[in-house]
Amino acid sequence: MNLKDTNKSYGEISLLNHWLVATLVAVLLTLGFVYGALPKSEARESVINWHASLGLLAIPFIVWRIIWRVKSGFPGDQEKSKLEISIKKTTHILLLMAIGLQIITGPMYLWTEVEPLPFFGLFEIPSPFSEKIEWLHETVEALHKYVANPLLIILLSLHFLAALKNIFWNKRKTFVQK
């Protein structure tokens, strides 16, 4: 069992980190879409509170993921062409940047309306602003929504398709530790 990445494969820490963040991002995206589809109601407010709470929970794991990946690099490129390596790294970097932007714009989305950031009803992190900042709120709202859909959806789809290509076309044991 390799805890750390090698130049040929991802280690156990990277795999845990990847699947933890992937699960959180998938749930957050789903809750975001459900929120957008619901009419104004108590259920809609409950969904956004869950979304915000899970987003707050996800922040340390996402930061950990970004730092770990920047520090560890991208192993397993020995058998790939320069084009494949470039596409892989670009997609990974854009994906990490998009997810990183979400953990900044999410809290700012609430705080620029002078709303606290909830955490599962246990506590709230109050807004650092004393009054609504309309132009900033509109900016972070647009960024949060448009980075999630379509940008994050496109990048996640590319990432997923690349994983399928590695498994079925290249016959790589992507999900098996070497």
Place of tokens 């920047």: 70
What local confidence, expressed as pLDDT, does residue 49 receive?
Answer: 97
Domains and CATH numbers, the chain: 12-169 (1.20.950)
DSSP state letters, 54-68: HHHHHHHHHHHHHHH
Separation between Cα atoms, residue 135 and residue 137, nearest integer Å? 5
Cβ neighbours, 10 Å, residue 76: 18
Q: Give the pLDDT confidence of 129-177 residue by residue, as tens digits.
A: 999 999 999 999 999 999 999 999 999 999 999 888 878 887 766 555 5
What local confidence, expressed as pLDDT, does residue 60 receive?
Answer: 97
Q: Which amino acid is at 90?
A: T
Q: Give the pLDDT confidence of 89-101 residue by residue, as tens digits.
A: 899 999 999 999 9
Angle at which helices 153-164 and 82-111 cross, to 10°: 150
Is it the case that residue 108 has pLDDT exceeding 90? yes
* Angle, vertex CA 125, rays to CA 66 and CA 121, nearest 5: 100
- Using CA atoms, how far residue 138 sits from 108, 110, 133, 134, 143, in Å, is 10, 11, 9, 6, 9
Separation between Cα atoms, residue 146 and residue 21, nearest integer Å? 20
Residues 6+ positions from 65 with CB-CB distance below 8 Å: 17, 18, 21, 96, 99
pLDDT above 90 coverage of the chain, percent: 70
Place of tokens 């709230």: 124
Q: Give the pLDDT confidence of 21-37 residue by residue, as tens digits.
A: 999 999 999 999 999 99
* pTM summary value: 0.89
